[in-house]
Amino acid sequence: MNKLTITLMLLLLSGCAATTGQQEEDGLSGGRTPGSGVIKPTNAVEARMLISQSQASGNVDAMVYAYGQALSFKEFNKADLYLNIARLEQQRKNNGAAEQAYREAIALDGKRQDLKEALALLLVDMKRHHEAETLLQEVVAADLARLGAPTADAANCVTDNRSPWRSYNALGLLADILEQGERARQYYQCALKVQPGLAMLHTNLGFSYYLDGEYPQAERALTRAVNQDPEYQRAWNNLGLLYYRWGRKSEALAALRKNMSQAEALNDLGYIAMMEGSYDEAASLFQRAIDASPRYYPKAIENLRQAKTMSAVGKR
C-alpha cells in the first residue's frame, strides 16, 4: 500500500476533514453576522455580555466577533480568547485564521502545552507533518519533565491521567503515514495508557496492525474498539476492510452491516473489492447493492459502471 493511500485512510481514521486554510477577510475578530459589527463594547462588562449573548445564539460568526472584541480589555485572559477564536475558526473550516489565533495565544503564553497541542493537531489536518511533529514532541517532552521521567521513549512511555494522549495519538498517525508501523503502535499504546476505554485509539491501533499485514493483532484491537463502543462506525468499517483483505468475506459484510443497511454494506464492500483490483467481484457486489436497495441507488449504479469499465480495461 503506497503512502498516498495510507495518508488518505489515516485522514479518515483521525476523523479530521481537510480544509482550505484560506483566511476570511474579517480576520480574527471579524464577524459575518448581520449587525454584529455595530455592537462595540466599551468595557469588560459589556464585552462579557456580548460573549454570553453570542454563546446563547450558537452562532459561530457572532462568537468569533465577540471574543475578538474582548481582546481590547485587560480583564480577559487573551490567550484563552485566542484559543476560543481558533477553535471556532476550525469549526467554520477557516484553518488560516485558526493557525494565526493559535500562534497569537502561544506568543502570549508559551508555557501552555494545550495551546501547542491544539496547533499541532491543526497542522496535522493541514498536512504540515514536520511542523506538527516538532510541536507534538515538545508537548510530550514537557509532560515527561513534569513527571520527572527520562527523555522520550515511546516503547516505555511514562504517563498519568493528565498526559497528552492526543499528542501521542497524533504522533502515531504521523508514524503510520511514514510507514513506521512499530513506532506508531508504541505511540498508540502510550495514548491508551491514558485513555484505555477510548474506541478511537483501539481503532487506530488496529488499523496500524492492518497496514503491516498483522491481521490477528488488528482483529483483536478492532474488536476491543467495538466492544468499547458498539456504535463506533469507523471501527466496524475497518473490521470489514480487514476481513475482506483476510478472505473472510461473509464476516466483512456482517461487520459493515452493523451500522448501515444491506444495500449500503454491499456497496461499500464492492468499493473495497474495486480498490483491491477485484473488478468482477466488485461489479457483482454493486449489482447486489442495487437489487437490495428499495429505492434508486445512484452511488451503487455509478460504482457498477466504473467497475465494469475498469474490468474491461484490465482484460485488454
Summarize pLDDT for 90-146 with one digit per residue, the tens: 999 999 999 999 999 999 999 999 999 999 999 999 999 999 999 999 999 999 999
pLDDT above 90 (res 35)? no
Q: How far is Cα 160 from Cα 43, in angstroms, rounded to an integer?
A: 42
Domain presence at residue 52: no
The residue ranking higher by pLDDT, 114 or 14, is 114
Q: At what angle do helices 262-275 and 249-256 cross, to 10 degrees?
A: 130
Average pLDDT, stretch 20-39? Answer: 46
Domain presence at residue 123: no
On the CB side of 268, how many CA atoms lie within 13 Å of its CA?
Answer: 23
Average pLDDT, stretch 11-39? Answer: 43
**Cell numbers linked to 78:** 487573551
- Residue 37 has a pLDDT of 52
Give the model confidence (pLDDT) of 148-193 as tens digits.
Answer: 987 767 888 999 999 999 999 999 999 999 999 999 999 999 999 9
Domain presence at residue 147: no
Read off φ and ψ for residue 194, nearest 5 degrees.
Answer: -90, -40
Q: How far is Cα 7 from Cα 1, in angstroms, rounded to an integer?
A: 10
The residue ranking higher by pLDDT, 44 or 31, is 44
- Residue 152 has a pLDDT of 65
Share of residues in the chain with pLDDT > 90 (%): 82
Neighbour tally for 202: CB within 10 Å = 26
| Distant-in-sequence, close-in-space partners of 316: CB < 8 Å, separation ≥ 6 | none
pLDDT above 60 (res 196)? yes
On the CB side of 105, how many CA atoms lie within 13 Å of its CA?
Answer: 28
Report which DSSP code applies to 143: H
Domain presence at residue 53: no
- Residue 13 has a pLDDT of 41
Read off φ and ψ for residue 48, nearest 5 degrees.
Answer: -65, -40
**Cell numbers linked to 273:** 473489492
Q: What residues make up the domain containing 268?
A: 264-315
Q: Domain tally for the chain?
A: 1
Residue 148's region, left for phi above 0, alpha for psi from -120 to 50, else beta, is: left
The residue ranking higher by pLDDT, 83 or 13, is 83
Give the model confidence (pLDDT) of 281-294 as tens digits.
Answer: 999 999 999 999 98
Domain presence at residue 270: yes
- Residue 28 has a pLDDT of 53
Give the model confidence (pLDDT) of 211-270 as tens digits.
Answer: 999 999 999 999 999 999 999 999 999 999 999 999 999 999 999 999 899 999 999 999
Average pLDDT, stretch 47-73? Answer: 96
Q: How far is Cα 288 from Cα 30, in angstroms, rounded to an integer?
A: 51
Domain presence at residue 122: no
Binning pLDDT at 50, 70 and 90, where does residue 3 land?
A: very low
Report which DSSP code applies to 43: S
Four-CA torsion 118, 122, 127, 133, nearest 10 degrees: -10
Q: 260-269: b or e for each residue (b if 16 or more CB lie within 10 Å)? A: beebbbbbbb
Domain presence at residue 82: no
| Distant-in-sequence, close-in-space partners of 229: CB < 8 Å, separation ≥ 6 | 199, 235
